[in-house]
Amino acid sequence: MIGIHDFRSLEEYRQWLRMYRLFRDYPIDVIRSKGRERLPRVARHVNGEYYERLVRDWDAVLSDADPDRLRDVALEISQYGADMRQINPFKGIMSEEDRLQVIKDSRDEQRRVLSSAESLV
């Protein structure tokens, strides 16, 4: 199971958890449609060749008929996956209640990990 220990920071974990819950709880057709709709806005705010390539990568997976490919890119735990989540086009799909639950759950996970580490000392 992927957890907070797989990421360099709480924020990277939170972004992954938000994406995981989005793909778990929301219809793929809605995710794909809203992502395509919002991608041009994301593209206008990125600078540099690397981030422009990431926007093109989002465009490619949003256009791919295979929902697993989109999900795999969104949940990739490498640095590439973290960078993709930084500029993802899915803002506004998840309800405020679900978004706040992700924040709470990620904080709880952080506390759990820290308390278990303290018990080792």
Q: What is the pLDDT of residues 25-48, one digit of tens each?
A: 999 999 999 999 999 999 999 999
The CA distance from 99 to 105, in Å, is 10
DSSP character for 6?
A: G
Q: Which residue in the block uniquely carries the two structure tokens 């899915």?
A: 90
Q: What is the mean pLDDT of the chain?
A: 94
Residue type at 2?
I
Cβ proximity of 54 and 83 under 8 Å? yes
Q: Which pTM value belongs to this model?
A: 0.90
Q: Is the pLDDT of residue 120 over 80?
A: no
The CA distance from 107 to 51, in Å, is 29
Neighbours of 92 (CB within 10 A): 10
